[in-house]
Structure 1
Amino acid sequence: MRQYTIFPGAVVSYKRPILALILLSATMLAGCAIPPPANRTQSAAVTPKQARATHLGRVVAPELEKHPGLTGIDPLVDPLDAFAARMDLARSAQRSLDVQYYIWRDDLTGTLLLEELREAADRGVRVRLLLDDNGIPSDLDDTLAALGAHPNIEVRLFNPFKIRRPKFIGFLADFSRLNRRMHNKSFTADAVATIVGGRNIGDEYFGATDGMVFADLDVLAVGPAATDAASDFDRYWASASSYPVGQILATAPRDQLEALDRKALAVQSDPAATAYTAALRETTDVRRLLQGALKLEWARTRLVSDDPAKALNSASPDTLVTRQLQEILGVPTRELDLVSPYFVPAEAGTHYFTELAGRGVAVRVLTNSLEATDIALVHSGYARRRVELLSGGVELFELARFPDTSARHHGADNAGSGGSSLHAKTFAVDAERVFVGSLNFDPRSANLNTEMGLLIESPGLASRIEAVFHSLAPQLAYRVNLDQDGNVYWIRRNGDVLVRYDREPNSTWAARLGIWFFSILPIEWLL
């Protein structure tokens, strides 16, 4: 019989070494539980009076008076414009920056934005940065800890991991908690202007990489929706899942902020990024806003957001984004145009969409093809419902992966070797109302992650979504069909020629086998 020391002063005997190893692992993982957040300062969004006194507030005041109760909306489709708008919003802030994201990369765009937040704090702006801990690399820990030590910056981690390297170990001990994430995305300045939509912070979201680039959508919103976004940020900031970095991360090296400065200078001087950063000096939509030259779409706009208690599985069903949208949107009577990169309708969603189509509502869905998706596992959840959706009259379009030209358009030397994937999350109802936000149409968004977005009553914006299906989809996507025997096939227009595919286009047999295998597993609720 062998003896194994588990911890000092305790000796356990087992006949088999593997049993001791299991007990050792369990003992280590028992220490992964995380205590409630502590030592949190109290703070809140700036008041309407304070917001009106800022430069942003004074600039937009005349237009707000002309459009009482309405929000000014500016769609941000171009990836570089979307990044530049965030940079200029940070530069224009005078009182506060409330920034909330699921993913923040330690790359060119992530570094430049962190440096911009730091510079805003140096000039006296209060910066609150709330990041989902699953979406940040451990390499950022020292930088975030250093930023959190700045007198004008507070950083909090949502639903954090106690074990920092490798984080996935935490799932072994606390899966039910760590499987729930904050998927929200907002960037709010002085409670006057906010950017809400599908983009995280990373080069692939802003066309600054030669790898996969996401086709995405944000909106710049000015007025009441920005006030609501600031108030909603307060809910998450004060929630039971929001932890000060000082409680989670080790104290950063003294020179860490200087290291951030050096890194920001290095990425700006990198020849591969020179043209990209130079483009940031061009006139942006935020600068046009400050000059009074930005044409906004004024519309009734409502922010919808999950209760942050959803991350602890303690939110009331009535507070969920999916329930709010059902109540606000009602039942489409003419058409429903849906754009979702990760489309997993499951049984209930499939029934809903096919029932609408059966009543004569035109239901059109644009999602990623297998070749374009960045998460093949999620595609399996969509593929298992594809025949039923098509049989029920739903029109399906799958975006083809095509060479990215955004970086070349902006002058980067390394452009063109990657491809684009759909990441926008939006839908239009009856050509009257549009939703733009973080919500994917999958079980994870509905039941596990927290989400947010803006519901905009705007026929003008709704018509833009329709145009995707009437003009862009036939050029950029495969139209999915059923033959007489109930088999799926794909049609893609190549100039004046229609090309038919009887298998998932441009896919390998191994990829198709994997999709089939995962589609028969009972994992749809996780996707």
Structure 2
Amino acid sequence: MTAWIKHLSLRRVRAMGIATLALVLLGWCAMLTACASLPAEVERPVSVARTDVDHTRLAALAAEAVPADASRRSGLRLLPAGDQAFEARIALAHAAERSIDVQYYQIADDASGREFLAALCEAAGRGVRVRVLVDDLQAAGQDALLAGFAARPNVELRLFNPLPVREGSVGGRVLFSAHEFSRINRRMHNKLFIADSSFAIIGGRNIGDDYFGRSGPVNFIDMDVLSAGPVVHELAAVFDAYWNSRHAYPIEALASPTATPATGRRNFDDHVRAAGATGRRPVTARDPLDQSSVGDQLAAGHVALHPAAVRVLADPPRKIDEDTAAQADGPVMEGQLALMQAAHSDVLIASPYFVPGRRTLDVLQRATGEQVRVSLITNSLATTDEPLAHFGYARYRTALLDMGVALYELMPDDGDAHEAADGPRGSLGRLHAKLAVVDGRWLSIGSMNMDRRSAHSNTEMGLVVDSAELAGQVASLLQRDHQAQSYQVRSLGAGNRLQWVSQGGAQEIVHQAEPSLTWGTRLRLSLLSRLIDEEFL
């Protein structure tokens, strides 16, 4: 039992903390006697990305936006502002004529999630084929909603790597599915949206209010990229591999069959209307890069993209099958480390959760030893939504500083709402973007955090982009909006003591102890860290 408790940790689920560990003791006997299971026989009709899109408007706009040259370059633009990132997805859904393919770790049951699903329903009503693939972990309590959505003509929805227990909270479902822990610990963390096999959006955002600047004072700071050209066909092939995987279960095979499709559709419509999720929300005219919205550009008949060579990094769905303890880094982590290892002058990393492990440390050590400037922006204890992951990162701070890495930890805002790269936000912005800029030329963007969970347990995807212009835009946003609003962590050398330094106007403000770390928090995290292996942070 002790070994099992040690591994009771999933991204987000690890936040259950002491309360969940107490529930383990109460539920252990029940789990041994009443183990749920997944259906043995499931029909999964095979389907692939639509190719009959040449005469669609989106295909024509994509072709106009991407130069036709021998280098097979794609076209890309960054989506730093949360409101515009959401609007881009909705605008593409409204413009689609043949197909929409969607793959996310989470589609929240909130205003943004419902508006997003409503836009997909509207597209399906026009005859657009809609395929939605979502990881099952965060879909707790959504079976009826998602089944009602999938009851629409032209809509299919599959849940990836589902938990056998269908009812209850995320924590409860994990608790009572613990007899299959080695499987359910591995999650599909990918984020992808494709319209008419012509435009794709990939990055760090899930679908939910806090990813698009809609959740009041607490929002995630994130980044996506819109793409067209050859890269979209590669991303579509990645989606197809996951969609046709044996780990993707049609919602009909999992949800309770008590309601008819007609009843499910009515319930879904009522749910969406009750949430007021059918109206269009205002979008800022220009984002922090002075770009107009994707919707406005689609309406004007021209989407402005930067040409660039792009490489797709994607973990295969079979990563779910492999033994975490024996597994090497996945292809996405391998690609990220190779990019950093090839650096000649500088590396700038933004990662909300940074638990590097020995291999990443070795890569950074070689880089700094070759006079490469390495900077890391991550969350502080005050801004992280995963304090246990922050505690795992804290173990490496002294080693990182000793090898010459510059560490910046995002500070909480001063309480006044203001405009930032992710759009308007108030008292607490939490870093969620997963970015790296190398030598001012290479940009890495996607779903992967620089931690052991992303390397070994989750499936991830991302892009490596050869573009000094896009790399420069990301570096400028990180340094202007986030590095400048961060504590710089400094080492005092003796006794591994650290300082957290911020700017108060022209004066430095020096903190001799970690901001927001109380003795109670330190004790709680220290105790929990003894129970949870670093592989699961």
Give the TM-score category using the shorter length.
Answer: 0.7 to 0.9
Change (3 A) 1:318 1:212: closer
Q: Give the partner amino acid of 2:200.
A: T
- Report the CA distance between 1:329 and its aligned residue: 6.4
Partner of 2:17: none
Residue from 190, 200, 204 that aligns with 2:196: 190
Residue from 450, 455, 461 that aligns with 2:459: 450
Partner of 1:52: 54
- Report the CA distance between 1:277 and its aligned residue: 1.8
Partner of 2:104: 101
Query: Whole-Å Cα distance in 1 between the matches of residues 421 and 489 of structure 2?
Result: 31
* Partner SS state of residue 101, structure 2: strand
Query: Whole-Å Cα distance in 2 between the matches of residues 72 and 22 of structure 1?
Result: 53
Partner of 2:5: none
- Report the CA distance between 1:330 and its aligned residue: 5.2
Change (3 A) 1:517 1:238: same
Q: Give the partner amino acid of 1:113.
A: F
* Partner SS state of residue 255, structure 1: helix
Query: Whole-Å Cα distance in 2 between the matches of residues 382 and 359 of structure 1?
Result: 24
Change (3 A) 1:469 1:81: closer
Residue from 109, 118, 121 that aligns with 2:124: 121
Q: Give yes or no for contact 1:364–1:469 (8 Å, CA) kept in 2.
A: no
Q: Give yes or no for contact 1:171–1:179 (8 Å, CA) kept in 2.
A: no
Query: Whole-Å Cα distance in 2 between the matches of residues 58 and 188 of structure 1?
Result: 15
Between structure 1 and structure 2, the one with the greater Rg is 1
Q: Give the partner amino acid of 2:156.
A: E
* Partner SS state of residue 500, structure 1: strand
Residue from 426, 430, 438 that aligns with 1:429: 438
Change (3 A) 1:67 1:83: farther
- Report the CA distance between 1:292 and its aligned residue: 3.7
Q: Does 1:277 align with 2:281?
A: yes
Residue from 218, 222, 241 that aligns with 1:235: 241
Change (3 A) 1:208 1:63: closer
Query: CA-atom RMSD, angstroms?
Result: 2.8
Change (3 A) 1:157 1:86: same
Q: Give yes or no for contact 1:478–1:492 (8 Å, CA) kept in 2.
A: yes
Q: Does 1:490 align with 2:494?
A: no
- Report the CA distance between 1:38 and its aligned residue: 1.5
Q: Give yes or no for contact 1:127–1:154 (8 Å, CA) kept in 2.
A: yes
Q: Give the partner amino acid of 1:34.
A: L
Change (3 A) 1:56 1:325: same
Q: Does 1:265 align with 2:234?
A: no
Query: Whole-Å Cα distance in 1 between the matches of residues 270 and 163 of structure 2?
Result: 28
Q: Give yes or no for contact 2:339–2:438 (8 Å, CA) kept in 1.
A: no
Q: Give the partner amino acid of 1:463.
A: G
Change (3 A) 1:432 1:279: closer
Q: Give yes or no for contact 2:221–2:430 (8 Å, CA) kept in 1.
A: yes
User: Which string of whole-angstrom CA distances, capped at 9 and with x for unpartnered residues, describes residues 2-60 of structure 1?
Assistant: xxxxxxxxxxxxxxxxxxx976642312xx2324562111211012xx22221100122
Q: Give the partner amino acid of 2:304.
A: K
Change (3 A) 1:411 1:26: closer
- Report the CA distance between 1:262 and its aligned residue: 3.2
Counterparts of residues 280-319 of structure 1 (less than 5 Å): 284-313=293-322
Q: Does 1:510 align with 2:520?
A: yes
Partner of 2:6: none
Counterparts of residues 35-434 of structure 1 (less than 5 Å): 35-36=39-40, 38-47=42-51, 50-67=52-69, 69-138=72-141, 140-166=142-168, 167-251=173-257, 252=259, 254-268=262-276, 277-279=281-283, 284-313=293-322, 320-326=331-337, 331-402=342-413, 403=415, 405=417, 416=426, 418-434=427-443
Change (3 A) 1:357 1:515: farther
Change (3 A) 1:347 1:325: closer
Query: Whole-Å Cα distance in 2 between the matches of residues 520 and 297 of structure 1?
Result: 48
- Report the CA distance between 1:507 and its aligned residue: 3.5
Change (3 A) 1:261 1:404: farther
Change (3 A) 1:500 1:233: same
Change (3 A) 1:474 1:450: closer
Query: Whole-Å Cα distance in 2 between the matches of residues 404 and 453 of structure 1?
Result: 34
* Partner SS state of residue 420, structure 1: strand
Change (3 A) 1:470 1:154: closer
* Partner SS state of residue 311, structure 1: helix
Partner of 2:21: none
Q: Give yes or no for contact 2:421–2:481 (8 Å, CA) kept in 1.
A: no
Q: Give the partner amino acid of 2:306.
A: E
Q: Give yes or no for contact 1:342–1:367 (8 Å, CA) kept in 2.
A: yes
Query: Whole-Å Cα distance in 1 between the matches of residues 419 and 344 of structure 2?
Result: 41
* Partner SS state of residue 396, structure 1: strand
Q: Give the partner amino acid of 1:72.
A: G
Q: Give yes or no for contact 2:148–2:267 (8 Å, CA) kept in 1.
A: no
Query: Whole-Å Cα distance in 1 between the matches of residues 364 and 153 of structure 2?
Result: 51
Q: Which moved more, 1:455-464 or 1:178-187?
A: 455-464
Query: Whole-Å Cα distance in 2 between the matches of residues 495 and 366 of structure 1?
Result: 21
User: Which string of whole-angstrom CA distances, capped at 9 and with x for unpartnered residues, describes residues 216-275 of structure 1?
Assistant: 0000111111121111100000112111111111134533323333333333389xxx8x
Query: Whole-Å Cα distance in 2 between the matches of residues 521 and 87 of structure 1?
Result: 43
Q: Give the partner amino acid of 2:78.
A: P
Change (3 A) 1:317 1:250: same
Q: Give yes or no for contact 1:480–1:488 (8 Å, CA) kept in 2.
A: yes
* Partner SS state of residue 333, structure 1: coil
Question: Share of identical aligned residues, percent?
Answer: 35
Q: Give the partner amino acid of 1:136.
A: A
Partner of 1:440: 449
Q: Give yes or no for contact 1:213–1:404 (8 Å, CA) kept in 2.
A: no
Q: Give yes or no for contact 2:221–2:422 (8 Å, CA) kept in 1.
A: no
Q: Give yes or no for contact 1:346–1:381 (8 Å, CA) kept in 2.
A: no
Query: Whole-Å Cα distance in 2 between the matches of residues 106 and 51 of structure 1?
Result: 31
Give the paired residue count: 496
User: Which string of whole-angstrom CA distances, capped at 9 and with x for unpartnered residues, describes residues 141-162 of structure 1?
Assistant: 1121122222201110000012
Partner of 2:535: 525
Q: Give yes or no for contact 1:37–1:243 (8 Å, CA) kept in 2.
A: no
Structure ranking higher on relative contact order (CA contacts 8 Å, 6+ apart): 2
Query: Whole-Å Cα distance in 1 between the matches of residues 528 and 499 of structure 2?
Result: 20
Q: Give yes or no for contact 1:317–1:323 (8 Å, CA) kept in 2.
A: no
Query: Whole-Å Cα distance in 1 between the matches of residues 307 and 338 of structure 2?
Result: 23
Query: Whole-Å Cα distance in 2 between the matches of residues 373 and 411 of structure 1?
Result: 19
Q: Give the partner amino acid of 2:314.
A: S
Alignment TM-score, normalising by the size of structure 2:
0.86
- Report the CA distance between 1:318 and its aligned residue: 8.5
Query: Whole-Å Cα distance in 2 between the matches of residues 264 and 241 of structure 1?
Result: 29
Q: Give the partner amino acid of 2:437.
A: A
Alignment TM-score, normalising by the size of structure 1:
0.87
* Partner SS state of residue 214, structure 1: strand
* Partner SS state of residue 130, structure 1: strand
